[in-house]
């Protein structure tokens, strides 16, 4: 299935538009228009979250995915991290204050880097970050033993024309990257292109 795997790597483009100010403006537009980005497929992999008590959502944006998860789960401590202060402030206001789950917020990873988590999720994040390999290494060190690193990225390679996506991943390149951390790399289809019917995005998860 993965013949010639080592010859297929993730590639990066030159210009990076993903500045904090860029995303602040984007999230402010989403918030004012009440159009929040959510991953509708998370419910299909909810079993991954059931045994995790501490969950880090890195690149949480407006917190819409955590809000979605919090309605399906209880007894969890969610930590939301995003460099957009506008998005984090919105998430702080949106997420319920009750006894069902606990929520913590930060705009920098280093504010929580001494913590350990049962599950760390990055939903549509790595394609925006230049030094994604160093990020994965840092997050891997923040996992509890037997913890799960869950990643979702576009896997269209150079078919990915989104200017925000400075990294172009494929199934093979992600497999090769994560295989250096874990013997088993779990891959699950997420979305398909309506036009070509090819796989557009996929979930990957590894256990420490």
* Domains delineated in the chain: 5-207 (3.40.50.150)
Enumerate residue ranges in the chain where pLDDT < 50.
1-10, 12-13
The answer to whether the CB of 205 falls within 8 A of the CB of 186 is: yes
pLDDT at 96: 81
- Give the chain's mean pLDDT: 84
- What global pTM score does this model have? 0.84
pLDDT at 162: 64
pLDDT at 15: 54
């Amino acid at each position: 299935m993965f013949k010639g795997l080592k010859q297929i790597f993730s590639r990066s483009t030159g210009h990076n538009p993903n500045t904090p100010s860029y995303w602040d403006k984007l999230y402010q537009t989403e918030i004012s228009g009440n159009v929040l980005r959510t991953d509708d497929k998370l419910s299909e992999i909810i079993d991954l979250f059931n045994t995790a008590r501490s969950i880090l959502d890195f690149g949480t944006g407006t917190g819409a995915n955590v809000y979605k998860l919090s309605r399906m789960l209880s007894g969890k401590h969610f930590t939301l991290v995003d460099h957009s202060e506008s998005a984090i402030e919105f998430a702080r206001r949106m997420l319920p204050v009750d006894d069902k789950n606990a929520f913590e917020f930060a705009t920098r990873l280093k504010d929580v880097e001494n913590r350990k988590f049962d599950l760390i999720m990055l939903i549509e994040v790595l394609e925006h970050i230049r030094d994604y390999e160093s990020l994965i290494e840092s997050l891997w060190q923040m996992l509890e033993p037997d913890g799960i690193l869950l990643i979702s990225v576009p896997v269209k390679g150079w078919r990915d024309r989104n200017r925000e996506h400075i990294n172009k991943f494929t199934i093979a390149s992600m497999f090769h990257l994560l295989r250096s951390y874990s013997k088993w790399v779990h891959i699950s289809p997420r979305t398909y292109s309506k036009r070509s019917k090819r796989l557009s995005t996929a979930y990957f998860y590894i256990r420490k």
